[in-house]
Structure formats: C-alpha cells, structure tokens
Amino acid sequence: MAGIYPKHFSNCITFAVARSLSSFSSNINIADSNKTKTFKQIPGPVRLPLIGNLYQYKFGKYKIYRYHEVLEDLYKKYGPLVRQDLGTSTVIHIFDPEDIRTVYINEGTMPHVVPLQETAQLYRQERDMSLGLGNVNGEEWYKLRSAVRQMMLRRKEVHYYLPLVQDVATDFVKHIIRKRGKNGEIENLSDEVAKWSQESAGIVCFEMRLGCLNGGLEEERAQTMVNANKVMFNLSALLKFSLPVYKYISTPKWKKLLEAEDFFYRTATQYVNTTINKIDNLIQRNELPEGRYNFMTYLLSRKELSRKDVTIITFSLFADGLSTTVPALLYNLYCLATNPEVQEKAYQEVSKHLKRGEPITQAIINKLSYLKAVVKETFRLYPIGTEISRIIPKDLVLSGYHVPAKTHVNLNPHVHFKSEEYFPNALKFLPERWMRGGESSDIHPYLLTPFGHGVRTCAGMRFAEQDLHVALCCILLNFKLQYPITDPLEQIYSTLLFPAGPKQKHELKSPFRASRMADRACHAQMVEEMVKECKILDCMRVVL
C-alpha cells in the first residue's frame, strides 16, 4: 500500500498615472474595419429570452461542476470567440492567446474586472464592509492596490516572512507524520493542507501561531473554517449559474451562503481585531519593537486606508490561500507522486542545496530551477481557475469580430493546456519544457499565466509562491510521495478548480468532525448540513 513514507528520515516518518474609465475610447485595434464581423455575428449556443444559456446548465448536458469542460466544448464547437448569456448578462469567451494578448495590451492603467465571486461582493455590501481589492474597480481599486503593493508584491518584504513560513512547514511535516495511517496513507490530505495554509497565513498576517496543526480545539476551528470556505465557493458557483433572484430576495441558498460567510468573517475578524488591539497597546506603551507586526502596522499607517480596508486586506491575505495555494500544493504533490522520476530529480535538486533542518533562504530558493519548473508544469496540467475577467475599456477586434467597449470578456487559455497544438507531449508531465534550453521559448507568452498578467495580476502571488516553494522543499526532504489510485485525479469547478479524487469518490461522505464546544458544534452542524446539501465534493479523500 502506498502513503507518505519517511525518506532519508530515520525518525519516521506598474502603475502609470491613474486614469478614469470615463476615458473609454472607441478606437478599433485594426485599421481595416470593413472586413470586421459584427458583435452580433459572434457565434455561441442558442439563447432564450431572459434566461439566455442558463437552460443548458439546468436541463441540458452542461454541469456546473464541469464548467472547465463546458468551456472546452464551446471552443471546439464555436471557435476562438464565443458568446454566452448567463441570464441577461453577456460574456464573450476568448480562447486565442493572440486575442488574450490584445485584451491585456489594451486594458489600460486601471483594468476593470467582474469579481470572481459576485456573491462575496454583495455580502460585503450588505454587511457594510470594505469590498476588497478583487471586488472593486477604478479609483477605489487603485487606492487599495497602491496600498498593498509594497507589502505584498515586493520580494524583500515577502522574504521577511521566510523563516516563519518555514517553521510552519516544518510543523506541517510533523502533523502529517501524526496523521498518517498505518500504511502511510493520509485520509484527507486536502483538509490537512488547508490547515497548513491557515497556519502559514496566520503567522504572516498576525505574527501569531493559530494552532491549526496542534490537534486541539484550534485545529477543529480551522476545520470548520475550511468547511465554511467550501460552502462559500460551492454556493457562489451555483448562484453564478442561476437567475440572480438572490440579489433581490433572500433565497434559501443565499441564506446558507450568508451563514457560512458570517461564520468565516467573524472568526477571521476576531484575529484581525486581536492583533490591532495588541499593536495599539504596544504603541501606547511605546513598546512596539521595530519590525513587529510588519504587515498590519504598515497597513494601519496608510492614511488613505480605513479600518475596514485594513481588515478586508488582511482577511484576503489570511483566507485567499485556502482556495488557491491549497489546491496548488495538492496538485503539485499529486504530479510528483505520479511521476517518480520527476520526484527523484526534484528531491536531488533540493537536497543538493538544503539539508533537513537548515534554514531556507531566498538564495537557496533562487537555485531551485527544477522545482520551479515542476510548479509551472503543474499549473499547466492542473490550473487553479478557469477564467480571468475584464470589462474592456475600448473597442477591440478579436478573432476578426468587433467587440465594443464595456463588454465583459473572459480569458480562457486553459482550454489549450492539454493540446498538442500548443504543447508537444501535452499529456505528459514534463517540467523540463520550462527549463532553459527546453521548448518554453516556443510557447505563447500569454498562454500559461497562472497569476494573470499586467497591473491587475494576483496580489498574493509572491506569498503563494513562497508558501509553495517552502512547503515542497520540506515535504520532498522528508517523504516519498505515492498515489495509490490508478484513476487520474479529477478537477471539479466550484468557482475555482478543486481536486476531487477519483470519479467514484465524488459523492460526499462528510469529512466533518463534530467539535467539542457547544457554539462550535452549532457551527459545525450548520456547515455540515450545508456541505451535504450542496454536495460539496470531498477533495482528495485517499491520497499520497
């Protein structure tokens, strides 16, 4: 039988000037507009009045949890540019990397996006919260983004947390050793990785160990957060593909979503408030040591940010990894486990530069070019999400069609990730293709951009990469990874793409354990019910 086995381990186990979007122009990016086809000619499935294409998800062959495959189907049937109407809102799906380039080049200095989770935007509006970076546009976005740029996107600031992140990764290794079954199997690696992510984010945001890996009540609370997060992502996806009645009437799904969001925010906000109080006390006593609470003190010092802004930015840094870095690490572990030669090569590289127990420095990470290629290749075979959205600021010609300013477009390069046309030996896991001298110079630069591109790229990219690199180093140095199931790992759409384990495992058996404290038990029950009802998929039940 397989599992995580101890290995070599005797103890076991650019911003330019701000510009308003009112300067939408109507220039077309190709001079010869005579040959350009009209917006109405953009192909797509038959649309019905009011519901548009939603009937295909409700009664047709399309399944929401297979949305990534729906996009592949649309591309194959209709070509590089496809129109889809979800209710009364129109989206143009873009598949050609050249069109993707055109959109990015013309996105302007303050690109407009449609939020990944419109439900989160609505929830925050209803609760009078700051909306957060990914949910705002224009001047408000510019203000928030400028405020976080230094702390989140400068390498030096992010590397400051490297030793703390390594401490958490080391504890995660010990946690895995405790959780392993007799045969080395981890029953639900997905949830364990999610606890690691919370602990790691907690140390960055609050410079505090939250105890998510300690086996006690804190770990139970972390599990409840993980479950609530699953409910939020799942319901958000379901509501995205329904008529937006929930925006006007409190539907049962919307109510459930509110409960999960309330629980999630309440818990995270407690951490934020506790840290702010600690900082206030230290400042009052003139005892705040230099460099302590770096992230929060920086945000609090920015005059343009309200307390609500500081809370939501910190919340994002704390929580966003659950739905992004967590699946990313799981996909990496899966790819390493199912490609033993790659795993051995990655292990050799890491162990050449780093001994178990030694501090990981940025200089060491810089030398791990093969490991980074593994991460990149994993993003190719297992992307984290489907689309990147934009509201285009000016008229464009895309694949020969005129697309007017203010149109909502979705960039979907992932439909090509397993295509021979773009990647030789497309189904093979070949990190070598991203190494110097590999084929990467022939790969279209706008094809694989897992963190997006341009001024609106992922704000958490540096933290996510650092977390991934450190965790992979620690895991590779301590374990040999195996995946005992012959069926390939599936991906399930639930706003983003989550690992779902082998097909027969898709029906939920709740991973939930009742917690001991009464209020937690109450939340626990609530979340468990939601999880069941929404048929949340139990990610990666038997792995590694």
Residue numbers of the site for ligand HEM (CB under 6 A)? Answer: 113, 133-134, 145, 316-317, 320-321, 324-325, 328, 384-385, 388, 450-452, 456-460, 463-464
Shorter beta-carbon distance to ligand HEM: residue 229 or 316: 316
H or E element: which one contains 377? helix 369-381
Shorter beta-carbon distance to ligand HEM: residue 130 or 325: 325
Shorter beta-carbon distance to ligand HEM: residue 403 or 464: 464
Look up residue 340 and give its amino acid.
P
Shorter beta-carbon distance to ligand HEM: residue 387 or 528: 387
Shorter beta-carbon distance to ligand HEM: residue 461 or 521: 461
CB of 153 to ligand HEM, least distance (A): 10
CB of 352 to ligand HEM, least distance (A): 26
- What token pair was written down for 237? 């996806």
Shorter beta-carbon distance to ligand HEM: residue 298 or 451: 451
CB of 368 to ligand HEM, least distance (A): 17
Shorter beta-carbon distance to ligand HEM: residue 316 or 412: 316
CB of 14 to ligand HEM, least distance (A): 13
Q: What is the distance between the alpha carbons of residues 39 and 43, in angstroms, rounded to a whole number?
A: 9
Q: Output DSSP code: residue 48.
A: B
276, 186, 264: which is closest to 222 by C-alpha?
Answer: 264
**Geometric angle at alpha carbon 173, from 537 and 208, rounded to 5°:** 90
357, 340, 329: which is closest to 10 by C-alpha?
Answer: 357
CB of 215 to ligand HEM, least distance (A): 25
CA atoms in the 13 A half-sphere facing the CB of 314: 32
Place of tokens 């199997």: 185
- What does the DSSP assignment read for 251-289? -HHHHHHHHHHHHHHHHHHHHHHHHHHHHHHHHHTT---
Look up residue 402 and give its amino acid.
H
Look up residue 375 and give its amino acid.
V
474 assigned to a ligand binding site: no
Strand partners, 317: none
Find how far residue 358's CA is from the centre of its chain.
30
CB of 320 to ligand HEM, least distance (A): 3
What are the phi and psi torsion angles at 496 (to 5°)? -120, -175
CB of 443 to ligand HEM, least distance (A): 18
Shorter beta-carbon distance to ligand HEM: residue 120 or 354: 120
The CA-atom distances, in angstroms, between 499 and each of 237, 452, 489 are: 16, 21, 7
CB of 8 to ligand HEM, least distance (A): 28
Place of tokens 């392993």: 180
The CA-atom distances, in angstroms, between 175 and each of 216, 299, 399 are: 12, 33, 51
Shorter beta-carbon distance to ligand HEM: residue 456 or 469: 456
Q: What is the distance between the alpha carbons of residues 39 and 138, in angstroms, rounded to a whole number?
A: 26
Q: What is the distance between the alpha carbons of residues 289 and 293, in angstroms, rounded to a whole number?
A: 9
Position of minimal CB gap to ligand HEM: 460
CB of 452 to ligand HEM, least distance (A): 3
Radius of gyration of the chain (CA): 23
404: CB partners within 8 A, 6+ apart: 26, 39, 395
Residues contributing to the annotated binding site for heme: 458
- Which residues carry a binding-site annotation? 458
